[in-house]
Chains A and B, each alone.
Chain A
Amino acid sequence: MTETTHQPQTQEKAEGAIARFLRSTELDPRLIGMVGALLLIWVGFHFYGEIVLGDGSFLTPRNLWNLSVQTASIGIMATGMVLVIITRNIDLSVGSIVGVTGMYMGLMQVEWLPQYLGLGHPAIWIITAIFGLLLGALIGALQGGMIAYLAIPSFIVTLGGLLVWRGVAFLAADGRTISPVDTTFALIGGGPYGSIGSTGSWIVCAIASAGVIWLVLNGRKNRRLHGFPLRPVWAEWFMGILGCAIILIATLVVNSYPWPKGILKDYYGKLGQEVPEGAFIAHGYAIPVLILGVVAILMTILMTRTRFGRYVFAIGGNPEAAALSGINTRAMTVKIFTLMGALAGLAGVIASARLNSATNALGDLDELYVIASAVVGGTSLAGGVGTIYGAIIGALVLVSLQTGMVLIGFGDGSYRKIVIGAALVLAVYLDIIYRKRIK
């Protein structure tokens, strides 16, 4: 296949250093833009705090760790919303699905299962979590079925769902708040005990770095195998080192956020010891953040490496062509909404575990943040375009704005809403300009 190797790019000479850098590394300029915006927001909040309040508290391990935990449930749902929006649909019901699954999981682990298994039985958390996922999936399948087979627009079906499931969440326990949840279940929400500590985090760091290196090497091997042009060696090194550096920095940050004194006392107290002088136990990665990481990897594989992912993009690009290619577009719609529902169920697990209780307001307005995350992350409402990593960065941007406003003393809901609403519109506007320019 020698004739297919190098197709010399005629514009090579004319292109600038930045263009050459982008082409060699194959980095998506939009990704760089999003990460740049995120860093700008972080630095902005930090220095505003530093200068105006005399205390820059944004870029601290404590805040960044909290940020990661708060992003988890929105981020998980945003990965599913990407598929929904790519196929030209919308799901307004995810916040209410969080509420209804959270509520029934609360009832299950606090009021139903302990009757049969006994309080604190080790199987309670897993049965409850699986139940929550399945309930979410079932609701998603029901809505997807109506969209696909009854041809009711997804906007209407899920707007109905938004109201219906919130109502069901209230009726499930007559508006009561159910707490506390099972102690093992609560770990899924994060917190000092719901984190994997310093050693665990270093192991995660090592595995993730190995994964990055494997990706780079394997990509190169594959291209060589088929005689495609290879990326320059420096670009491969750059990508490998960049990936590992980000993982390393994240690990350093979560490992330098210590357990607070109260938790230390509680921990050593349970061991029957005094808190040693200068005791330092790091949080490390929180469990919900690891769940988000795993979901992100699996969803990325699903979207970029499987037929299912291809079909999602094809349906978004041209539903008629997808159908003519033998893709069962209706079944795909049901599957996508089922997946979305299951992810909302998973977010329900994390949200109720983190709150250590189930309330009927759980997940309220989440649908807006989730949709905004996907859209800020570059998912096009016109369909056909979107990435998983984009949605997660989008979620990070929105949650950063939210927590940043609180940190600098604008925690009052109204300011937050104004800023986030404006940021959403601005982000989409910038994306439109960008897309026009590359055309």
Chain B
Amino acid sequence: MSTNRGTPLVELRDISISFGGIKAVDKVTVDLYPGEVVGLLGHNGAGKSTLIKCLSGAYKADAGEILINGEKVDINSPRDARALNIETIYQTLALADNLDAASNLFLGREIVNSFGFVDETKMEAETRKIMARLNPNFRKFNVPVSALSGGQRQSVAIARAVYFNAKILIMDEPTAALGPHETQMVAELIEELKKQGLGIFLIEHDIHNVMKLCDRASVMKNGQLVGTVNVNEVTDDDILGMIIMGKKPAKAA
């Protein structure tokens, strides 16, 4: 798990954004290499979601720059981010409750036939395929997602991020609502995607998952970056210390 292998896939440099005078993210710099999982950690309200929303196009940073493969990019909308192969699982899941799983999965990127009409049956067939991989128990294809359980909704959101061959994946607490078996499946999915060379930002509160899944961990506190560590060089107590005390452990500093 060595760092610094040539050009990073993503670099967020000195990103700042504030809401009504409150600095939600304050000059944060993080990077991500292909085939790597970087954990983003911190207390509630530390600014993790806000930071990754600057990358996913939901927010426009007040200051700072974003580089993809070493090139500066302008991400002004979620559409721009998707065009750069950045896919996001939002903490809120961002599902339209009144639409079914397939409609949500393809929202904004519907499959259309040669007449330009939405090909509903094709989309459902594709949805069945990907769900069979992610959550084989999933059956509720023809009901609005409001009728799904929290975990089922989360699987839909995960499927949407995975389906479109992302190169950069942002997962904001992807397993928060999942049962142990489903969580295990997501862990396996992350391992598999990593092998395929994706870079993954993983926001996660469970320290054991962080130790298991992440290569590096960046810790935030009150909108600022506390530091980034190689996970295999520190203990979980070190990381907890960073989160709570806001200080980098002496030996890794």
Contacts and interface: CB of A to CB of B under 8 A. Distances in A.
A228 B121 contact: yes
Contacts of B132: 3-4
Contacts of B77: 326, 328
B44 interface: no
B176 interface: no
A226 B107 contact: no
B128 interface: yes
Interface of A: 1, 3-4, 7, 222-223, 225-228, 301, 305-307, 309-311, 313-314, 316-318, 320-328, 384-385
B103 interface: yes
A321 B96 contact: yes
A319 to B, nearest CB: 9
A7 to B, nearest CB: 6
A153 B59 CA distance: 23
Contacts of A314: 96, 99, 103, 107
B95 A4 contact: no
Given A4-B125, A314-B107, A323-B78, 9 more contacts: A3-B132, A7-B139, A226-B122, A227-B125, A321-B95, A324-B58, A324-B94, A325-B109, A327-B108
Q: How large is the interface on B (under 10, 10 to 19, 20 to 34, 35 or more residues)?
A: 35 or more
A30 to B, nearest CB: 15
Given A313-B98, A317-B99, A325 B107 contact: yes
Contact of A1 (B90, B103, B125): B125
Contacts of B121: 222-223, 225-226, 228
Interface of B: 56-58, 77-79, 82, 88, 90, 92-99, 103, 107-110, 112, 116-118, 121-122, 124-125, 128-129, 132, 139, 144
A31 B70 CA distance: 57
Q: Which 6 A-B pairs have the closest CB atoms?
A: A317-B96, A317-B98, A325-B108, A326-B79, A384-B98, A321-B94
15 contacts: A4-B132, A222-B121, A305-B117, A306-B117, A306-B118, A307-B118, A309-B118, A321-B93, A321-B95, A323-B58, A324-B90, A324-B94, A325-B108, A326-B79, A328-B77
A226 B125 contact: yes
A320 B110 CA distance: 18
A225 to B, nearest CB: 7
Interface of B is mostly: loop
B118 A228 contact: no
B83 to A, nearest CB: 9
Contact of B118 (A225, A310, A317, A328): A310
Contact of A318 (B79, B94, B117, B122): B94
A331 B117 CA distance: 20
Q: Which of A227, A317, A324 has the most CB of B within 10 A?
A: A324
Contact of A322 (B58, B92, B96, B144): B96
Given A222-B121, A305-B117, A1 B78 contact: no
A383 B82 CA distance: 27
